[in-house]
């Protein structure tokens, strides 16, 4: 949902857009596990941020 909004605005404005996500919640048959504070999620956020900075610095 969030990504569709980013791309819709980019198309309207005539600009390029990109989107990346780190999945932090898990929905199972037994319920919803909110894992935003979990260490693996934080590690993935750091890795994603590093890659995003590298890509944007090349623009």
The pTM of the whole model exceeds 0.75: no
Tens-of-pLDDT digits for all 59 residues of the chain? 889 999 999 999 999 998 888 888 888 889 988 887 888 889 999 999 999 999 889 87
DSSP 3-state of 1: coil
What are the residue ranges spanned by the domains of the chain?
21-59
Structure-derived torsion over alpha carbons of residues 38, 21, 58, 16, reported in degrees to the nearest 10: -160
């Amino acid at each position: 949902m969030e990504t569709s909004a980013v791309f819709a605005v980019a198309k309207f404005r005539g600009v390029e857009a990109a989107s990346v996500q780190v999945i932090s919640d898990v929905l199972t048959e037994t319920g919803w596990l909110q894992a935003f504070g979990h260490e693996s999620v934080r590690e993935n956020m750091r890795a994603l941020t590093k890659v995003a900075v590298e890509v944007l610095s090349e623009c």
